Amino acid sequence: DLMDPERYTQWGAYCQSKLANVLFAKELDKRLKEAGVKATAVSCHPGGVDTDLARWTVAADDDPKKTKQLRADSPWAEGLIKFVTRTVELGANTQVYLAAGADGGYDKSGGQYFDNMAPGLLNPVADDDKLAQQLWENSEKLTGVKYNFK
């Protein structure tokens, strides 16, 4: 249930959103192909990128100044963060790779998930075509927007 407040956790919601991105891209690609639209929909993971998003995991607060201060006060933490994350520029590589068509262009990788400029490994749930269709239909109901590609 997408809207169940009893089962909500921040990390659970984050993980569900990533799965939803993959499922949505697969369903979008399928619908584009069925309509004869010359386009490709893919999803990708930029990796752990050193952005202000980390303020939630480092400082558990929306104030980016608190995270910057915590990092400044702890050279050990700063070193660890730099070791396990990549720069914003490196994090953009896969998106740029796909946007430039380096994956082979239209109809070469439709619906696929990419990580580090290559097809990535997925949880088997992400290959559930019925779940992807249900997500699409629920998204249309929740947003009040219906796409017709034909």
Residues annotated as catalytic are 14
Residue 85's closest CA among 39, 54, 128? 54
Q: At what angle do helices 64-73 and 75-84 cross, to 10 degrees?
A: 110
120 secondary structure, DSSP code: P
17 secondary structure, DSSP code: H
Q: Do 59 and 67 form a contact (C-beta atoms < 8 A)?
A: yes
Phi, psi of 19 (to 5 degrees): -60, -40
